[in-house]
Amino acid sequence: MPTREGIELLAHAVRPANAYEETVQRLLQSVRLGLIMPGDRLPSERDLSTMLGVSRDTLRDAISTLAEAGYVVSRRGRYGGTFVQDELPVSDRSSGAGAGAPVDDAEVDDVTILRRIVEVGAAREAADRELPAAARASLATALEDCGSASLADYRRLDSRLHLTIAEVSGAPSLVPVAANARTRLNALLDSIPVLAPNIEHSNQQHERIVAAILSGRSDEAAAAMNEHIAGSEALLRGFLTDSL
């Protein structure tokens, strides 16, 4: 069973806006910090969902993600349950271009703050504008392409959507700044698994962002983009840093 410290860490309920990402983050941190040791069994699904304040469906998605990434394994039978793997992945960045390179909180902080300043502002400005038909069509197409993208194409089309939002904000000089932020973000995201539940959640958030922009609801567009960025931040911290 997990240590007392592990249970206390898990007991901090996640925020509902990014429940999946923050559940992954919380569980990953518990494993990577040794609060739940290799070979330990996680609390039952019912207990764990209560501790984290999330639905069982969200918890199952998060556990499935950790299993795919090689951190936990589910076993059936009388003594079954979800267990931390006896041997954890050698490096959190083993599948990325920057394999083995450490990532500290400052790097994630810097990228996240830059994104909040640039992308939240871009979403707000885009929603405040009277968008011409061409801009509206470009935004709708980018959203549709991202939503139907394969796993192999997702990062590229996700980036295109975010850059389209910057483009329709009315400040052409904002696009290269957004591109720089996106390049740095992708370098970090390429070091963690491509997670189907996260992509589904991201697409839902994209739809809210674009809908708010197209309907001129600037506060809602900004809030939805901020929520979206927070979800990415949670995953990066879970996989790549030791911060809680």
Domains along the chain with CATH numbers: 4-84 (1.10.10.10), 105-240 (1.20.120.530)
* pLDDT confidence band for 229 (50 / 70 / 90): very high
In the block, tokens 């740095």 appear at 184
Inform me whether the pLDDT recorded for 3 exceeds 70. Answer: no
Cα distance between residue 191 and residue 43, in whole Å: 29
Q: What phi, psi does 67 have (nearest 5°)?
A: -65, -45
Cα distance between residue 152 and residue 150, in whole Å: 5
Q: How many CA atoms lie within 13 A of 33 on its CB side?
A: 20
* pLDDT confidence band for 165 (50 / 70 / 90): very high
CA dihedral 7, 13, 14, 16 (to 10 degrees): 150
Cα distance between residue 84 and residue 141, in whole Å: 42
* pLDDT confidence band for 51 (50 / 70 / 90): confident
In the block, tokens 């499935």 appear at 64
Report pLDDT digits (tens) over 85-137.
Answer: 999 886 443 334 333 455 778 999 999 999 999 999 999 999 999 999 999 99
Residues whose CB falls within 8 Å of the CB of residue 125, separated by 6 or more in sequence, listed in order? 169, 170, 171, 218
The alpha carbon dihedral of 183, 185, 187, 190 has a sign of negative
Select the more confidently predicted residue: 7 or 223: 223
Query: What is this structure's pTM?
Result: 0.78
Beta strand spans in the chain (E) = 72-75, 81-84
